[in-house]
Amino acid sequence: MRVPRGFRFGGVHCGLKPQRRDLALVVSDHPAAAAGVFTKNKAAAAPVQDARPRLPAEGMRAILANSGNANALTGPAGLDDVSVIRTAVADALGIQKRAVLTASTGVIGARLPAMKVVTALPALVEQLGDHPDLAAEAILTTDTRVKMAAREVVLEGKVAVLSAICKGSGMLAPQLATCMCLVVTDAAVAPAALQEALSRSVEKTLNMVTVDGEMSTNDTVYLLANALAGNPRIQGPGPDLLRFETALADLLGEMARAMAADGEGATRMLEVVVEGAPDEAIASDCARAIASSPLVKASLFGADPNWGRVLATVGARAGARGWEIDPLRARVVLQGVTVFARGAPADVDREALRERMRETRVDIQVALEAGPARAVAWGCDLSYDYVKLNADYTSLIVQKPDGGMGRDDRVANYSPTFKRTLLAEALKYIAAFSGEVAVIKYGGAAMVKDSLKEAFAEDVALLKKVGLKPVVVHGGAPEITSTLEKLGERSEFVDGLRVTDAQALPVVEMVLTGKVNQELVALLNARKAGAVGLSGKDGRLLIARKAVFDSGRDLGNLGEVVEVNRDFLRMFLDGGYVPVISPIGLAEDGSSLSINADDVAAALAVALKAAKLIHLTDVPGILDSPDGELVRQLTAEDLVRRLEAGAVTGGMKWKVQSILSALKGGVLRVHVLDGRQPHTVIAELFTDRGVGSLITP
């Protein structure tokens, strides 16, 4: 991703959240013109109250943003805390206090511990670098992925870059849902023009995202323009401002779509285009009404092509507001298929359309034939999760002692019919898997988030109790990276594999075997799972040799499995224990080698003749391209084809390779599941419809 000249970014953990990064800093090395758009909520958070009257302005130098605490409804102390933080940032960077903006997101009504922020500033300033990835991570709350993008625009022969990072999830009402978007550009634009462009672009993009129609106390969009691109400064309306604004709106449009797709509980993203409206206000209102209609959203969750609800919404809106629109003249297109035109339903292949409704993005177009205006809105489906959480919101959302938010996630609120069906289906599978071995590779987001860790531990304990024999192999990449970082070492990855040099190896081993493994064992045994922590060195469980790559690239002490001590592992399984294995192998010379946990899981699954090999990761499964659609079912042959076509990259490439070797070794079913959803392991094993990708020989 391209980043404009003259900006530096950082993101660290300062203790507002239990363990993830929660403090981001964006610095402009030159004074920048600045604009902002804020929530219209009258109960605005302190940082909003602080920044709103100061923008648009010249001479801004820094934005400090935190997640984990909204600093909203915190009384006069809230503004004092903002002031303390602005002073500290100014001192740390050697700039003026007036040049600092702040933004916050997270829990409402709890005082922001400003000292945690101040204490972390030196490390944050130290870390400042050219790429916004860590800053993008640090502003996330309930988001499941980082959102960032960039655009280029040519202004009078000079190429200017705009880049944005953003967070927003918002299925849960305002408490956890906020949009924060930080945009930087090296274009030269005067503050007033910058503000105009930003306000108009936000109107068409971020303001057209609807998840639950709730307005947060903290919504903040900042735009800094430092003029380093060298274009003649844009002072006001004209072709240059138009070009700049087009690029900005395009960038914010991508952010809006990313937010809609990541709405909490959402399984599908919805894009609604309304065209042919009498004016823009009507087009926007209509698009937003469709995207936020509970009936439209519910049918989306059920993959039901129920276009009648779309037209019903249009008709209701037109009737209530007295618009000059005749819904019967409208044309409705669903997933590219015309379903209603010329006043009557069109002939469609319902089965084919239904299949297309299962895709993760659904497009609805409504052509009103009543004028020239057009608008786009984005939303998501209304899932069981949303209803369950919001049906008993205050008792299901709990604040933890450390200030973080958590969920009391039980099926208690489902209907009795649903519970009966679920149980009957589950018991069938429980009977089928009893006595079988399942190797579970535990990685990705499931390893980081407390609520997901707990759900995973419950699942494993439960699997064991119903007679399955789970074997857990864990990774630990995020922990290793952050520990190395604390020790002042950067992690280098080649194609998703860590370069493990002689200095890094003891850290890798300490974190995996000494920390991650032990924590996992404790978590499992708190649920009486009978977990036993093992490294590959124990009992010569994993004999390894240094891995050699086709590319000839030396990745240091990275190993591959040569031999598995199956009898040793069998002894634990027969005794009713759950082996929890850290991916460290023993080389013939007695030294340690770090092994990709995927490879370890595959080798163990083969050695134990496991009925299943399950990968928990941080994507929905195997996707048809690195950010494409989920592929639900594949054969080994399909996988090889996808690998060769370059459709699988990064960490997934190695995972897929290990999966292929497991299939070759006789494992009959391999699953790749989304570890960001709680209890996916149980859902996969005990229900008819799979949740991720299933790979068979």
Write out the residues near ligand ADP by the rule CB under 6 A: 443-444, 475, 477, 496, 617-619, 622-623, 625-626, 647-652, 655
- Which of Mg ion, ligand ADP, none does 68 bind, CB closer than 5 to 8 A by kind? none
Minimum distance, C-beta of residue 224 to ligand ADP, in the bound complex (Å)? 29
CB atoms closer than 10 angstroms to residue 696: 13
CB atoms closer than 10 angstroms to residue 576: 9
Minimum distance, C-beta of residue 559 to ligand ADP, in the bound complex (Å)? 16
* CA–CA dist 647, 644 (Å, integer): 8
* CA–CA dist 398, 406 (Å, integer): 5
Burial of 239-259, coded b for 16+ CB within 10 Å and e otherwise, reads ebbebbbebbbebbbbbbbbb
Closest residue to Mg ion in the complex (CB): 651
- Which of Mg ion, ligand ADP, none does 444 bind, CB closer than 5 to 8 A by kind? ligand ADP
Of 620 and 651, the one with the shorter C-beta distance to Mg ion is 651
Minimum distance, C-beta of residue 645 to ligand ADP, in the bound complex (Å)? 10
Minimum distance, C-beta of residue 604 to ligand ADP, in the bound complex (Å)? 16
* CA–CA dist 426, 412 (Å, integer): 17
* Residue of 296, 285, 364, 368 lying closest to 326 (CA atoms): 368
Strands (E), 168-299: 180-185, 220-225, 269-277
Of 291 and 672, the one with the shorter C-beta distance to ligand ADP is 672
178 is catalytic: yes
Of 268 and 655, the one with the shorter C-beta distance to ligand ADP is 655
Pairing of strands 100-104, 57-66: parallel
- Which of Mg ion, ligand ADP, none does 623 bind, CB closer than 5 to 8 A by kind? ligand ADP
Paired tokens of 677: 């959803």
* Displacement of CA 209 from its chain's centroid (Å): 17
* CA–CA dist 427, 356 (Å, integer): 32
Minimum distance, C-beta of residue 675 to Mg ion, in the bound complex (Å)? 12
* CA–CA dist 205, 377 (Å, integer): 8
Q: How far is CA 358 from CA 20, 318, 363, 628, in A?
A: 33, 30, 12, 14
- Which of Mg ion, ligand ADP, none does 74 bind, CB closer than 5 to 8 A by kind? none
Closest residue to ligand ADP in the complex (CB): 651
- Asked if 277 and 326 touch (Cβ cutoff 8 Å), the reply is no
Identify any residues that bridge with 612 across adjacent strands, giving them in sequence order: 438
Minimum distance, C-beta of residue 514 to ligand ADP, in the bound complex (Å)? 19
Check residue 166 and give left, alpha or beta (phi > 0: left; psi -120 to 50: alpha): beta
Minimum distance, C-beta of residue 477 to ligand ADP, in the bound complex (Å)? 6
- Asked if 596 and 652 touch (Cβ cutoff 8 Å), the reply is no
Of 621 and 651, the one with the shorter C-beta distance to Mg ion is 651
Of 104 and 596, the one with the shorter C-beta distance to ligand ADP is 596
* CA–CA dist 620, 599 (Å, integer): 20
- Which of ligand ADP, Mg ion, none does 132 bind, CB closer than 5 to 8 A by kind? none
Spell out the residues 6+ positions from residue 589 whose beta carbon is closer than 8 angstroms to its own.
Answer: none
- Which of ligand ADP, Mg ion, none does 652 bind, CB closer than 5 to 8 A by kind? ligand ADP
Burial of 188-201, coded b for 16+ CB within 10 Å and e otherwise, reads bbbbebbbbbbbeb
* CA–CA dist 536, 593 (Å, integer): 9
- Asked if 137 and 146 touch (Cβ cutoff 8 Å), the reply is yes
Of 148 and 187, the one with the shorter C-beta distance to ligand ADP is 148
Minimum distance, C-beta of residue 257 to ligand ADP, in the bound complex (Å)? 18
Inter-residue long-range contacts of 394-401, CB under 8 Å, 24+ positions, other chains counted: 397/172, 397/175, 397/176, 399/107, 399/110, 400/18, 400/450
- Which of Mg ion, ligand ADP, none does 276 bind, CB closer than 5 to 8 A by kind? none
**Among 74, 144, 178, 483, the one annotated catalytic:** 178
Of 93 and 604, the one with the shorter C-beta distance to Mg ion is 604
Paired tokens of 119: 């204490």
Question: Which runs of consecutive H residues, i.e. helices, occur in 262-358?
Answer: 280-292, 294-301, 308-321, 350-357
Question: Which runs of consecutive H residues, i.e. helices, occur in 384-501?
Answer: 384-391, 393-396, 416-433, 450-465, 477-486
- Which of ligand ADP, Mg ion, none does 372 bind, CB closer than 5 to 8 A by kind? none
Of 63 and 558, the one with the shorter C-beta distance to Mg ion is 558
- Which of Mg ion, ligand ADP, none does 373 bind, CB closer than 5 to 8 A by kind? none
Minimum distance, C-beta of residue 64 to ligand ADP, in the bound complex (Å)? 29
- Which of ligand ADP, Mg ion, none does 403 bind, CB closer than 5 to 8 A by kind? none
Paired tokens of 541: 């469980």
Chain residues that interact with Mg ion, rule: CB under 5 A: 651
Minimum distance, C-beta of residue 602 to Mg ion, in the bound complex (Å)? 12
Of 181 and 446, the one with the shorter C-beta distance to Mg ion is 446
Paired tokens of 267: 């399984």
Of 651 and 675, the one with the shorter C-beta distance to Mg ion is 651
- Which of ligand ADP, Mg ion, none does 618 bind, CB closer than 5 to 8 A by kind? ligand ADP
Q: How far is CA 557 from CA 174, 426, 603, in A?
A: 48, 43, 19
* Residue of 266, 316, 265 lying closest to 290 (CA atoms): 316
Instruction: Return the DSSP state at 512.
Output: I
- Asked if 273 and 284 touch (Cβ cutoff 8 Å), the reply is no
Of 33 and 659, the one with the shorter C-beta distance to ligand ADP is 659
Minimum distance, C-beta of residue 476 to ligand ADP, in the bound complex (Å)? 9
Minimum distance, C-beta of residue 615 to Mg ion, in the bound complex (Å)? 9
Whose tokens are 């040793």? That residue is 568
Of 182 and 580, the one with the shorter C-beta distance to Mg ion is 580
Residue 266, helix vs strand vs coil: coil
Residues recognised as catalytic: 178
